[in-house]
């Protein structure tokens, strides 16, 4: 459900660079050539040797011409142009519905007889519904497009590309002040890369913002006077709305899934091969469309759980097609074929989602069928063409070969924690380009939709909208532009550093869209402490501008949310590493500061943060656990780690180039506090060691190959682990105390693996030979206990490498 209130746009004036860096356009049209009508995204060059003067010293130098009888969207485009040009130049522009004298410069808005007279070479009837033209001929500038939205897009793209206007959010618009406004003569014909564009983030729901930034999805529908939008009837998980089990299951249980030999509607689907159900579904679809004559797409989509039908007919079809998409696509094709004659303008939409994601072997969607491929299982830290997302890419490639109207439902937030750090911002551009390269026609990016304050919601909404129009733009340049425009250049610098910090720190982590409570490398104290300092710098930089300070403070909340959520662990990490805690000692005080920021500023609804996740958790719900401060278990800070550490015994005369010290804090720990923890140990070489209880066998101490120093990646080395054990009195001497080894992640092999018995260990540190190996970035070094009830704990001081030639 959508909650909250949309505010109306306001105008905030400041100077903005007029250009966004772009990748080379897919097509370039020279001014002397006829305009193209390709379905691909087109950008034409502008003449750099001529210019069109709109105003000079605050006085108009052209008039604005509207077509007689212009439809409402083109009237809206006219008002947008005149009002915004006035704000840019302070000039008052004359509007007429007749062509001026030949000597008077003019701007013609929209297609129609006046445009056809001045530009007879253009076939206006060939323009697509969202295709636009910006063109200067002589003293006339044409801003026009196909209907219903082409002209309003032409005006908005003109104001953005040629005049430098930016509509960051519904409450933040940058309009440059230019009393003298000249533009290089544009010669542009373009259309958006995707026919359906939905950056589904709460700040992007407002209709004017969507039109300004080229979004056309139906979320909080765009009214017809602004060009309308692509309308669905239903949108997702429509099986039971179409065939409600409370009405039909008692009489027709055969219409619902056969699961383990029993017909059921509890967390089930429909029996998609049942002939009577198919005809009933056709009837229901017709009823829905007659109720919604403006709908262009109707959703016939599976319920949001498993429970597919296992009856003999459904199973046989799915087995033959190698996927549960077999029954789904057969069912949807049947409906699409039956309704096509009555509703030729409507497409039937279905999902390739979870159990239906894999394409069928032989079935192809009919031309009036849209398949929406869903990426919900993917690793969103990496682009979708990363090896961790290989199965999704296989399905994307398969559907792109058989589906003429392939849409994608992508995921760009953390649904369990809208306000949690979610470092996926640098994959947005690569992923949109991947979709375009696979001939995807529509893109819906589901973000945080329940209210204001979600992590970088404003940035993602704006950047995604720009990329959905033209994926070939430099996404990192777009991010930089947004940071500087929305937060101001002084604050943008530390915020940009924060983005790179979190992106780099999360490398190797599988970032799903439902983050649990597991440890993540970007949520350690070392990283979050640095992040908090950067946000404090951003607040200080924005302080002279109260509006930008408010924006920074809201965007700062995710780091503070992480500190509150992981307070005790982070406090311990800070204590253990002798670092400086960036908050008051009281978690309760930090929680109240968080609450104060979330309460927002009166009159600025976008500063009021109310909902923290998809399930509707409120700020008060989240903060109730922090009403009391947790007990301080650590006491005074421990002595600092020794920077100058003694060499292992036997290495006194070895050259420093022939051995490498790999201290405990280089290791990644599995479930810190449960399976492993760095603790003070006066017997360790640097006063620290990794403690692991003896009651498990996890590789809880692991030095990843990417963390190894460069010198370790050359030559052969003897690998040692410096370990001591705490044994119980009844420990069996021949039992295994711990194991250690080297794991090759690329080859799924073990170049070294060894176990050590309890009688080989005691309460003192000894250097145990793990093996002689060659190392690379794919090879990890590990140590694990042995689930031995006689071993209370093992302590790992360090591992070290000795060049083989020294033995």
- As beta bridge partners, residue 621 has none
- Please report whether residue 386 resides in a domain: no
pLDDT of residue 348: 98
Lowest mean pLDDT among 45-59, 424-438, 604-618, 785-799: 45-59
Which residues lie across from 269 on neighbouring strands? none
Position 516 scores a pLDDT of: 80
Q: What is the mean pLDDT of residues 331-343?
A: 98
Query: Quick check: is 636 in a domain?
Result: no
Overall average pLDDT of the 475-503 stretch: 98
Helix (H), strand (E) at residue 490: helix 489-505
**Residue 449 pLDDT > 90, yes or no?**
yes
pLDDT at 807: 54
Residue 12 pLDDT exceeds 80: no
593 within a domain of the structure (yes/no): yes
- Sign of torsion, CA 393 399 400 406? negative
Residue 637: per-residue pLDDT: 82
Q: Does some domain include residue 645?
A: no
Give dist(CA 218, CA 19) in Å, integer: 29
Please report the pLDDT score of residue 50 as a whole number.
Answer: 62
Whether residue 41 is found in the same domain as residue 110: yes
Number of domains in the chain: 3
Last residue of a domain, one of 160, 191, 222: 191
Give the integer Cα–Cα distance in Å for 309 and 318: 10
Considering the domain architecture, whether residues 557 and 663 belong to the same structural domain is answered as: no
CATH code for the domain in which residue 125 is found:
3.30.379.10
Please indicate, yes or no, whether residues 622 and 693 belong to a single structural domain of this protein.
Answer: no
| Averaged pLDDT for residues 174-188 | 96
122, 156, 191 — which closes off a domain? Answer: 191
What number is the average pLDDT over the span 4-32?
29
Are 726 and 620 contained in the same domain?
A: no
pLDDT at res. 31 = 30
Tell me: do 674 and 583 sit in the same domain: no
pLDDT at 24 over 50: no
Is there a domain that residue 80 lies in?
Answer: yes
Does residue 597 fall inside a structural domain? yes
Q: What is the pLDDT of residue 39?
A: 33
Residue at 218 is within a domain: no
The mean pLDDT value for 360-378 works out to 98
Tell me the average pLDDT across 245-259. 98
Kindly state whether residues 618 and 708 are assigned to the same domain: no
Same domain, 33 and 146: yes
Distance in angstroms (rounded) separating the CA atoms of residues 594 and 588? 10
Is residue 520's pLDDT more than 60?
Answer: yes
Kindly report, residue by residue over 683-694, the tens digit of the pLDDT.
Answer: 999 999 999 999
Tell me: do 610 and 722 sit in the same domain. Answer: no
Shared domain check, 180 and 63: yes
Name beta bridge partners: 660. 801
Average predicted confidence (pLDDT) for the chain: 92
Kindly state whether residues 666 and 802 are assigned to the same domain.
yes
For residues 597 and 689, membership in a common domain is answered with: no
First CA to last CA distance, the chain: 68
Task: Assess if residue 200 is contained within a domain.
Answer: no
Are residue 38 and residue 144 in the same domain, yes or no? yes
| Whether pLDDT at 26 is above 70 | no
Cβ within 8 Å of residue 49, ≥6 positions away: none
194-208 mean pLDDT: 98
Each residue's pLDDT tens digit, 131-161:
999 999 999 999 999 999 999 999 999 999 9
pLDDT at position 491 over 70:
yes
- At residue 634, the pLDDT reads 78
Q: Which domain holds residue 570?
A: 497-626
Of the residues 191, 217, 236, the one at which a domain ends: 191
**Global pTM value:** 0.86
Whole-number percent of the chain with pLDDT over 70: 93
What is the per-residue DSSP string for 194-234?
A: -SEEEEE-GGG-SHHHHHHHT----TTPPPGGGT--PPEES
């Amino acid at each position: 459900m959508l909650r909250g209130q949309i505010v109306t746009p306001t105008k905030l004036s400041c100077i903005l660079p007029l250009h966004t860096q772009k990748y080379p356009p897919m097509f370039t049209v020279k001014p002397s050539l006829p305009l193209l009508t390709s379905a691909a995204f087109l950008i034409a060059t502008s003449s750099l040797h001529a210019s069109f003067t709109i105003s000079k010293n605050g006085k108009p130098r052209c008039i604005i011409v509207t077509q007689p009888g212009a439809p409402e969207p083109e009237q809206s485009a006219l008002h947008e142009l005149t009002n915004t040009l006035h704000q840019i130049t302070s000039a008052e522009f004359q509007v007429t519905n007749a062509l001026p004298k030949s000597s008077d410069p003019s701007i013609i808005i929209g297609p129609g007889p006046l445009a056809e007279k001045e530009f007879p070479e253009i076939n206006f009837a060939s323009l697509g519904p969202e295709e636009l033209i910006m063109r200067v001929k002589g003293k006339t500038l044409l801003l026009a497009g196909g209907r219903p939205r082409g002209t309003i897009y032409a005006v908005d793209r003109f104001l953005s590309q040629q005049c430098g206007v930016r509509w960051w959010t519904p409450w933040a618009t940058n309009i440059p002040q230019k009393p003298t406004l000249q533009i290089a003569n544009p010669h542009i014909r373009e259309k958006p890369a995707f026919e359906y564009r939905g950056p589904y983030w709460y700040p992007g729901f407002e209709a004017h913002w969507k039109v300004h930034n080229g979004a056309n999805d139906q979320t909080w529908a765009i009214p017809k006077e602004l060009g309308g939008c692509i309308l669905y009837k239903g949108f997702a998980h429509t099986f039971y709305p179409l065939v409600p089990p409370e009405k039909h299951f008692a009489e027709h249980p055969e219409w619902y899934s056969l699961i383990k030999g029993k017909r059921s509607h509890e967390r089930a689907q429909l029996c998609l091969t049942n002939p009577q159900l198919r005809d009933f579904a056709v009837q229901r679809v017709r009823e829905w469309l007659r109720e919604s004559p403006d709908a262009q797409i109707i959703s016939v989509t599976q319920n949001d759980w498993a429970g597919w039908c296992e009856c003999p007919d459904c199973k046989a079809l799915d087995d033959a097609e190698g996927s549960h998409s077999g029954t789904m696509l057969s069912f949807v094709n049947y409906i699409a074929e039956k309704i096509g004659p009555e509703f030729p303008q409507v497409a039937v939409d279905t999902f390739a989602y979870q159990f239906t994601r894999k394409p069928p072997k032989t079935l192809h969607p009919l031309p009036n069928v849209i398949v929406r491929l869903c990426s919900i299982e993917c690793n969103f830290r990496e682009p979708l063409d990363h090896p961790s997302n290989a199965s999704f890419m296989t399905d994307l490639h398969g559907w792109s070969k058989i589906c003429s109207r392939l849409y994608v439902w992508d995921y760009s937030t953390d649904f369990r924690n809208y306000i949690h750090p979610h470092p996926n911002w640098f994959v947005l551009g690569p992923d949109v380009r991947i979709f375009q390269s696979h001939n995807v026609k529509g893109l819906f990016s589901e973000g945080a939709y329940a209210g204001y304050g979600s992590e970088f919601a404003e940035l993602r909404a704006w950047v995604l909208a720009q990329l959905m129009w033209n994926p070939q733009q430099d996404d990192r340049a777009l991010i930089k532009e947004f940071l500087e425009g929305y937060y101001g250049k002084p604050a943008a610098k530390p915020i940009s550093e924060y983005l790179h910090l979190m992106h780099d720190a999360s490398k190797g982590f599988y970032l799903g869209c439902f983050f649990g409570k597991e440890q993540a490398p970007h949520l350690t104290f070392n990283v979050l402490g640095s992040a908090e300092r950067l946000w404090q710098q951003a607040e200080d930089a924005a302080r002279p501008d109260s509006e930008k300070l408010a924006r920074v403070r809201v965007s700062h909340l995710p780091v503070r949310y992480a500190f509150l959520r992981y307070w005790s662990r982070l406090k311990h990490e800070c204590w253990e590493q002798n670092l400086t805690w960036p908050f008051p000692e009281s978690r309760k005080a930090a929680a109240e500061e968080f609450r104060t920021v979330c309460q927002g500023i009166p009159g600025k609804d976008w500063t009021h943060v109310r909902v923290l996740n998809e399930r509707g958790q409120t700020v008060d719900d989240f903060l109730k656990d922090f009403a009391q401060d947790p007990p301080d278990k650590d006491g005074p800070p421990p002595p600092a780690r020794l920077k100058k550490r003694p060499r292992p015994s036997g290495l006194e005369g070895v050259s420093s180039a022939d051995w490498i010290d790999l201290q405990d804090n280089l290791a990644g720990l599995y479930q810190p506090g449960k399976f492993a923890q760095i603790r003070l140990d006066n017997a360790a070489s640097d006063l620290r060691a990794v403690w692991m209880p003896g009651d498990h066998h996890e590789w809880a101490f692991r030095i990843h190959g990417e963390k190894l120093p460069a010198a370790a990646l050359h030559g052969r080395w003897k690998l040692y682990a410096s370990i001591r054990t705490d044994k119980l009195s009844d420990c069996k001497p021949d039992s295994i105390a711990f194991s250690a080894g080297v794991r090759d992640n690329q080859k799924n092999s073990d170049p070294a693996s060894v176990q050590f018995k309890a009688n080989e260990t005691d309460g003192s540190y000894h250097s145990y030979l793990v093996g002689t190996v060659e190392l690379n970035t794919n090879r990890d070094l590990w140590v694990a206990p042995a689930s031995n009830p006689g071993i209370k704990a093992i302590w790992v001081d360090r591992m070290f490498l000795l060049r083989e030639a020294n033995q």
